[in-house]
């Protein structure tokens, strides 16, 4: 049977691998040699599951969205990752990685963050474990994302500004990699999505796969069958989507729908529709699809939602796109904002703007009345309230 999971070298079809400077090799190699053994160790699993339950608040509900279903004449379920501690799915991964770091004997954590959501999720688990935490963040992003900077500081993390280049996410990433090269023995680098060199995409997907693991038994309870007809998720780097798809990937009867940010329009020059616009290249140590100029310089992405504003996409998703296994739909800022308002008023749930993109597909694609569709509700909209206020003049 064809598999859409990573092979042992970290390839998804032609995408993935580990394209890293030689000086980083010992760090990723230590992780590569140990991560599967550790994740599959019963004592690790027990500790991970207990924290997911008591600290994160899992299992998150699978909620039948009655009014949305009626409006769109199909059956829509919402996987409520917005109810996770810290307000989104990201903490599933940071909990997994902090436990991994402990097993590997690391006592110092570094991370990079753009909008600050991953930085907050990392600072949270470092506080939980009493481990030193340094978060690299572009100087421009520090100014733009003041509330998340304050959260990280409150949680005891040090936020170090990246002062080079465009002073945004990719520069913060460069600083984090430099730090890791200089501190290979005591430091673990927590990457926030299914991106980066092998084994990160596969490791992060495994930590997030709890989402589809729960969907299976929850759907069995509610619908008498484990498998939906479609799973829908928004894709920035691709971690919430990877988690929602994970246990459904290799069953081609289940539709995989990936929603990307088209920003002001896919051909407007202001978008983050990475798969549709991307070309094969290397970013963050991984061969994947990324937005770049003719001569291979990475293009600045744009989206109204900070979490989808990433110039690349994880190698799993690049392969889902290229192979045709996944259906990719690009949604503009305006369509996402409209969908976010509609979900708020039909279900009493204000979604993160990232997730609002996923909801906008119902105005693009018609489903059958008996179809069962699971939308991964990746996060709550509290962090986006000001953007909603400005957009709708509330």
Ligand X SMILES: *Cc1c(COP(=O)(O)O)cnc(C)c1O
Of 81, 112, 175, 214, catalytic: 112
The residues of the shown chain that bind ligand X, judged by CB under 6 A, are 88, 90, 117, 193, 234-241, 307-308, 352, 354-355, 378-379
Task: Round to whole Å and give the CA distance between 39 and 377.
Answer: 26
112 noted as active-site residue: yes
SS3 of 167, please? Answer: coil
Cβ closest to ligand X, residue 241 vs residue 273: 241
Task: Round to whole Å and give the CA distance between 260 and 372.
Answer: 22
Of 110, 113, 105, 125, nearest in space to 52 by CA = 125
Cβ closest to ligand X, residue 187 vs residue 355: 355
Of 79, 90, 103, 287, catalytic: 90
Cβ closest to ligand X, residue 301 vs residue 307: 307
Structure tokens at 294: 């003719």
CB of 287: closest distance to ligand X in angstroms?
18
Cβ closest to ligand X, residue 75 vs residue 278: 278
Task: Round to whole Å and give the CA distance between 186 and 101.
Answer: 9
CB of 296: closest distance to ligand X in angstroms?
24
Burial of 268 (0-12, 13-18, 19+ CB in 10 A): exposed
Structure tokens at 187: 């430091």
Q: What residues are paired with 332 via a beta bridge? A: 263
CB of 90: closest distance to ligand X in angstroms?
6
Phi, psi for residue 241 in degrees, rounded to 5: -65, -45
Task: Round to whole Å and give the CA distance between 394 and 391.
Answer: 8
CB of 213: closest distance to ligand X in angstroms?
17
Task: Give the residue numbers annotated as catalytic, written as ranges.
Answer: 90, 112, 378
């Amino acid at each position: 049977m064809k598999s859409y999971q990573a092979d042992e070298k970290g390839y998804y079809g032609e995408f993935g691998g580990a394209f890293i400077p030689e000086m980083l090799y010992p760090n990723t190699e230590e992780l590569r040699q140990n991560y599967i053994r550790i994740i599959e160790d019963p004592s690790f699993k027990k500790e991970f599951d207990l924290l997911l339950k008591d600290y994160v608040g899992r299992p998150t509900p699978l909620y039948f969205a009655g009014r949305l279903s009626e409006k769109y004449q199909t059956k829509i379920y919402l996987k409520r990752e917005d109810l996770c501690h810290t307000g989104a799915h990201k903490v599933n991964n940071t909990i997994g990685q902090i436990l991994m770091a402990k097993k590997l004997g690391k006592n110092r954590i570094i991370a990079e963050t753009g909008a600050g959501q991953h930085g907050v999720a990392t600072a949270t688990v470092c506080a939980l474990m009493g481990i030193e935490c340094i978060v690299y963040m572009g100087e421009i992003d520090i100014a733009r994302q003041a509330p998340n900077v304050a959260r990280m500081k409150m949680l005891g993390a040090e936020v170090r500004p990246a002062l080079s280049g465009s002073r945004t996410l990719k520069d913060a990433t460069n600083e984090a990699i430099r730090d890791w090269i200089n501190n290979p023995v005591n430091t673990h680098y927590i990457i926030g999505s299914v991106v980066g060199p092998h084994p990160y995409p596969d490791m992060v997907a495994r930590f997030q796969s709890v989402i589809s693991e729960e969907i299976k038994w929850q759907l069995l309870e509610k619908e008498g069958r484990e498998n939906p007809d479609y799973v829908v998720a928004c894709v920035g780097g691709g971690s919430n989507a990877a988690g929602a798809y994970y246990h459904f990937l290799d069953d081609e009867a289940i539709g995989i729908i990936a929603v990307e940010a088209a920003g002001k329009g896919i051909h407007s020059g202001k978008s983050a529709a990475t798969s549709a616009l991307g070309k094969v290249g290397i970013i963050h140590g991984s061969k994947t699809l990324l937005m770049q100029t003719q001569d291979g310089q990475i293009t600045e992405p744009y989206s109204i939602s900070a979490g989808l504003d990433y110039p690349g996409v994880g190698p799993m998703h690049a392969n889902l796109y290229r192979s045709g296994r996944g259906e990719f739909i690009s949604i503009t800022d305006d369509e996402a904002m409209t969908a976010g308002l509609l979900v708020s008023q039909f279900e009493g749930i204000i979604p993160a703007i990232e997730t609002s993109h996923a909801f906008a597909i119902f105005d693009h694609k018609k489903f059958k009345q008996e179809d069962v569709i699971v939308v991964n509700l990746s996060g709550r909209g509290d962090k986006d309230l000001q953007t909603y206020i400005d957009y709708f003049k509330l």
